[in-house]
Structures are given as structure tokens and as C-alpha cells.
Structure 1
């Protein structure tokens, strides 16, 4: 069920001309079987899968894994998945290697080019660590996910004899969660990738129409565009389940990197309620009217806790005795939405039936489909990221200049 604040016809966009993302879904049965086979191997022989990547090369997988694994025992149903290459902190890498010393380790390096600075540095360090620890066996324990035909990482994989999975050349990192870039770590974590892909496939079928009245993804994109035209500059994505925080981060990159060009676009920001009601809630309720809110809610969450009654009722909460935490959370969601709407913040509601692999796959494909239309309404390319390349060039220039000064 999707409730949209605004919905109007639009004439300036030829919907049939929008770029298609349907081919981003991995339908290669042989590759899916190989991913499942490697996932079983890692689970049988490893305790940790270290995923090295940054941006879309790890955010999609982490979003799904964090959403669908337990809070305090993430490897209960599969190997623990941890991450490197998403920062350049020496302390993080040092402590990571110390942690890995106590575990049996596999490594999955994810990069289309192999030249991005953060994962490149991390892989250089981790590759040396794995070779010292495992010797020749390290070649079996390092798995590469990269472009099929070109790039430094492909060259390294060919030279070293690493097993390799492919990210299709036409698929950018932020759209790659349904390729091996996302599916291998997700499978290793014990999540059903068939259910995940089935959800995305159903979304593809449901959203394969140019009729705005029947296409919820296009309605959401149009709502965003109308908000932008009305002067709103920020979209605030909110949910009431802490495990969705990395899904927020994936969404933030998807829309921020796809739309933020030519000095256009909504600024994508995120909050996790009810925690952030005690941090940013005051601003949302009564601050400057620069934002609208998109609220994600999953009606059924598998785990729950009942509130007990007490004899003295000193805290005055016996009126909630016998209720579940999730039911209270759902009602608080409705209360927050009402308060924000009454305070002048438009609220978009996206409600999914259940927090499971199928519906997370459905939701992520929904957002990808909407993002392509949303960027197209702004008349920007949803698939490039020239601003990211600009900062990379400047960073490399400064590092090379500094290296010369140090060597002198």
C-alpha cells in the first residue's frame, strides 16, 4: 500500500523513452548457482567474509544484510559479514586485522575498476595479510567481483588466479545490489537470494506500465518532483526499525548520486525513529519548512516483545501491558506522521507487508525504478556521477604532490 501526498498528470516527459533497468536483475542461472555454491563453501570453511568496497559496491549488500539478520548475532544464520574499504582510517584497518586473527577469513573485493582509492588501499593491506597468513591458499580465499572485460581489479584477479564474479558493464554501483556485487555477500550471510530476486522481479512486473495511475514508482517520482517545484529542498527518509539504517544509506546514495547534478535535485537525508525524534524531531516539527518526509513502514516484523504488567504501575504504563512493542511502534508511526503533517511537513507513506527478503527486494527495485524517472524529470543522467570523479582527481593530485614533497 502506498499513499502519496500529491499526484498529478505530467506532460513533458515521454515515459516510454525512460532508460530501462529491468536487465539489472541477475537472471543468469549458472551464475546464481555458482554464487550459492561459493556461499556454501564460505560457510563451511570460514567464520568471516570481509567485503572490501565503497559506495554501491557494499551499501546494497549491507543494507539487505543489516535489515534481515539479528541485531546481536548477525552470523546466526550464516557467516559474519564485515566491511573494509569504505573509509581511510588507519585505526579501523589495524583493529580489523587484529579481529581477523581470531577468525577463519574469506575476502570479497568489489569494484568495477579497482582504482577507487579507499577499497584499493584496503585491498593492498588485506591482500598482504591474507598471503602472509594463508600462503597459496589465499588465492582460494580471495574472491573478486568486477567488470567482465576491463579494469585493474580484473587484471589482478587474472594474474593471481582469483575466482571472479561479474558486474555487468552497464550497471553502476548504486544499481548493482541485484548483481553478484550484492548477491554473494547476501547469500553468505544466510539470506535467501532467490526470495530477494523474486521480490524484485515481482516489482518489475508490477511497475512495467506507463500508466501513472497504476505505477507506484512513477507516482513516487512525480511526488518528489512536485515537491521540488514547490520549493522543498530536502527529502527526509524515515523508518521506525533500527535495522533499516543501512537501507537508508543505500537510498541516500541512490538518489543523491543520481540526481545531484547541474545544481539540481532534492537533498536526500535520513532519520531513524523513534531515536531521532529525540534528536532532530524538534526541527522537523517546528523548524524551517524546507523538507518533506517519506516514511517507510513494514507491517510485520518477525521478532517482537510483549510489555508486562506490574503490580504497582509506578511508571504509569500498565495501560500498555499485554501490547507488543511492534504494535506500539506502529501506532507511534501514525502519531508522528499526523503531527508532522499538521506542522506543515508533507508526508509520503510507503507501507510494505513484511520485513523479509522478498519485500526488501521489492522495495529496492521500486526505489531504483523511481530514481530513474525522478532524475529524468530533472533532465539529468541518472547513471553518471561526474562530481564524484572530480573529487577523486583533486585528491590524487594532492596526494601525488605531497608524496613528492615527502620524498624530497
Structure 2
């Protein structure tokens, strides 16, 4: 289902570097398994079978079925881990062009994301299109006061309150938030709308396999049981630490650590399927927020090949030797298209006639990795049997566990994100939020100097 290939990275390191790290990895793995490491209160995602009860899953499926039936458009409001995981899975598993399919073909409403930025035009133009459609909404925020999401919810809730009666509104707004406190919890209780819980022991970027991600994914028509089956497969496969037979998940964490020590401080996640672009965005948050602390961490970047070979290819081939690549490859495609033969061969492509685009894409990936390795860029690759909820679930868990182990191996807490508060405080102060008057004065003085 999923395998890590390291052959094209091994020329850049020594085998003993990996071996010397094994005692440290043993400690990191034990801390994660036992829940004794930094941030252990946020490792509820680790044991996949314990994330959701059967009752939880049945309720998600029931609510999702109702929303699929009643909605032309399903809005998901959230930012960071409150939306990235769901969007990553939905785009990875669904048709590339769902907007142009009839609902009968999709089997689900069109899913649109909002509340993940502050663009006035985006939200205004979203409101433009909603009037003639039946709309439902899921707002996801543990605190309920995350600025981007809260603004979008205030505006879109007002729109829906004008469009629907109070009773119908209860069937169309779903809140995912804290179990007992916060602005959205108060709203859900007072308005009587459906609500799900953001688990206390799972941080946002690790939450896609909880109701945070599962509800939007289910509304989009994706089989969440299959997604969780894939995650559980990975949980079982990578459960044990054996120094004599290191599994792929642990090996990925080890390889990254050794490469970083050698000065490769930027990891470029490479996709050859456009449907995986948002998966890279989810991965970037997972690793960026988890590792980027105490002046350390690998910078997570992304590229979509072969498209970005025509923009970034020159830098990757001959630029600063600070990066390594991790490619996600699929052994098979969902559809088959072959290059047709053309009598005059004016485009000089007849040598490809009869070949599938998947075969050409795979060959392009091989040729690219060979060139980049020769240019001094270490290459790792993850090969999946197919693009499906099963394999994507396995890939989600693979990266989550490897990320946690990477953090512990680098002596950091991979479950907090203290640095994200700096910009928020400045933004609150400059916008005049009560309680930030002193900081506002300091910032205005700084800006005027």
C-alpha cells in the first residue's frame, strides 16, 4: 500500500549516521508510545482505534448524509488544521472538476472553503453565488474566536439567517468546537444546532481523522471508514520500534534528521498528481508548526511536477545545495488515456503513441529524480499503490507519526506552536482590539519612526 524508497538519498549520507541515531530514536518512540514526552497531552491522534467510537462514526455519517441530501453547496469555515486536512483528503480523493459535474454524478454537494484568509473580495464573491443554491455550513474552531473564521461565520451566518427560517437553519449549520466552552459552544447550545467536538487531546494539525476532518470529508461523499482503515493499517504497520528492522515511518524521520545535520534544511514535497496539491499544504503546516522552534527545523516547501519544473527546475538543478526532495508517487492511475498516433507526426510525439499518460508521468518522475540527484539533491520517495481513501489514510498517519518522532529526535515539543501568537497580537493591537492598547501605541510609534 505504501513504501518509502531511500536509494537516491543514501549517497548523501553514511549508513552509520542512521545507526548512531537508533538509541535516540528508541527513546523518542517510547515517549510517543507511552505518552511521556513533551506535549503528551496532545497525542490523542496516536492510537488510531481510539480516536473515534463507533457511535461517533455513525453520527458523523448520519449528519453527513442529511447534509448531502439537502445541500447544493457545503461551506467549511476554518483555518490551519481546522480545514487543511479535510481539504487535502477531499481534493486527493475526488474528481478534479467537481463543479462541472451534476450533483447526481458527484453524489454530494460542492464543497467550498472559507474563513481561511481575510480577502474581502473572496468572501463578497462567495456571497454572490450562494443566493440561488441550497447551502449548509460547518464552522470549525476550538475557541470560536479565531479571527479569520469568526469573521466569515458572522457574515455567512447573517446571510443564512435571512435565507432560512430558524428551524431550517438548525438543519443547515453544524458547529465543530470545544466540548464545554467558547463562543461557538455557546452559540451551538443557544441556537440548538448540531455540534461535534474538537478533541482536547488532539491539536488542529493532527485532527483530520477526528470529527474535525471526517464530517466535511463524509459530506463530500468520501468513505471515511476506508480512510480510517488505511490509517489503522499504518498504525499497525509502524507500531513497533525494532532497531534490527527499522520500519519506513521511523526511517523517514531518521533520514530527514541526518540530512538536516548535513545542511539540507529545506524539504520539498513533490507531487506528480495535481489532486495532491492541497495534501502538500496540509503537510507543510504539520511539519512547519511542529518542527520550526528554538532556531531549528527543516523548512517545508512544495512543488507540483512536472508543472513546476518549468519554473523551479533550474534552481533545484543548479541552485544552492540546501534542499532535498520527497516525492509522492502512485503506481497506478484511476483512469487510462493513451497518446494517439498522428499520421503527419508534426508535433514529433509518435514515439509516445500507445503509451499511457501515467507511464509517461512515471518516466518523467524517474528522469527528474536522476537529474536532481546528479545535481546534488537527495531524493526520497513514497510509493502508494493507488489514489484512494485507503492509501491517503495511510499516508496521513505515516506523516503524523514521523512528524512527532522528528520533533522528539530534535529535542522539541512537536505539539505546540508558541510562535504563531506574535503576529496575532500585533494584528489585534493595530485593529484596536480591547486589551491591546499599550502594544498598539508601541507599534504605531515603531511604524512612524
Shorter-chain TM-score bucket reads over 0.9
User: How many residues end up aligned between the 2 structures?
Assistant: 405
Measured in 2, the distance between the counterparts of 1:153 and 1:215 equals 42
Normalised by the length of structure 2, the TM-score is 0.87
How far did residue 170 of structure 1 move?
1.0
What's the TM-score, normalizing by structure 1?
Answer: 0.96
Which residue is 1:84 aligned to?
114
Q: 2:179 is matched with which residue?
A: 148
- The offset of 1:24, in angstroms, is 5.5
Per-residue CA deviation, residues 64-120 of structure 1 (Å, 9 max, x unaligned), is 111111111256132111011001011111100111112100000011111111001
Match of 2:57 in 1: 32
User: What are the within-5 Å matches in structure 2 for residues 68-147 of structure 1?
Assistant: 68-73=93-98, 76-136=106-166, 137-147=168-178
Pick aligned residue for 1:17 from 31, 35, 47: 31
Mapped to 1, the partners of 2:96 and 2:405 lie a distance apart of 35
Q: Structure 1 residue 163 and structure 2 residue 190: aligned?
A: no
- The answer for unaligned runs of 5 or more in structure 1 is none
After TM superposition, the structure 1 = structure 2 runs for residues 280-291 of structure 1, keeping only pairs within 5 Å, are: 280-291=312-323
Match of 1:292 in 2: 324
Indicate if the aligned counterparts of 2:69 and 2:108 stay in contact, CA closer than 8 A: no
Structure 1: how far apart are the matches of 2:24 and 2:413? 16
Relative to structure 2, which stretch is displaced further, 250-259 or 203-212? 203-212
Runs of 4+ aligned structure 1 residues displaced above 4 Å come to 401-405
**How big is the shift at 1:12?**
3.0
Counterpart-to-counterpart distance in 2, 1:83 and 1:401: 26
Matches within 5 A, 1:318-333: 318-333=350-365
Does the aligned pair in 1 maintain the 2:60–2:214 contact within 8 Å? yes
C-alpha deviation, 1:35, in angstroms: 0.9
SS in 1 for 2:432: helix
Quick one: which of 315, 333, 336 aligns to 1:304? Answer: 336
Shift of 1:130: 0.7
1:166-199 Cα deviation digits (max 9, x unpaired): 1210111100000011101111111111000000
The 1-side partners of 2:356 and 2:78 are apart by 39
2:240 to 196, 203, 209: 209
User: Shift in Å at residue 45 of structure 1?
Assistant: 1.0
Q: Say if 2:73 and 2:135, in contact at 8 Å, map to a contact too.
A: yes
Instruction: State the partner residue of 1:41.
Output: 66
Structure 1 residue 401 displacement after superposition: 6.3
After the TM superposition, which residues 167-316 of structure 1 pair with which residues of structure 2 at under 5 Å, given as runs? 167-212=198-243, 213-316=245-348
What residue number does 2:447 align with? none
CA offsets 1:126-164 (integer angstroms, 9 cap, x no match)? 111110110212122100011212222111111111110
Distance 2:404 2:433 in 1: 39
Bigger Cα displacement from structure 2, 222-231 vs 72-81: 72-81
In the alignment, is the contact (CA less than 8 A) between 2:115 and 2:152 conserved in 1?
A: yes
150-159 or 369-378: which moved more? Answer: 150-159
Cα distance in structure 2, aligned partners of 1:304 and 1:88: 40
1:380 lines up with 2:392 in the alignment: no
Tell me the secondary structure at the aligned position of residue 300 of structure 1: coil
Give the aligned CA root-mean-square deviation in angstroms. 1.6
The residue number in structure 1 matching 2:81 is: 56
Answer whether contact 2:67 2:136 (CA < 8 A) is retained.
yes
3-state SS in 2 of match to 1:295: strand
1:78, 1:300 → 2: CA distance? 25
Q: Would you say the 8 A contact 1:24–1:175 is kept in 2?
A: no
| 8 Å contact from structure 1 (residues 24, 176) kept in 2 | no
- Counterparts of 1:69 and 1:304 in 2: how far apart (Å)? 16
Q: Could you tell me how far apart the structure 2 residues matched to 1:27 and 1:215 are?
A: 26
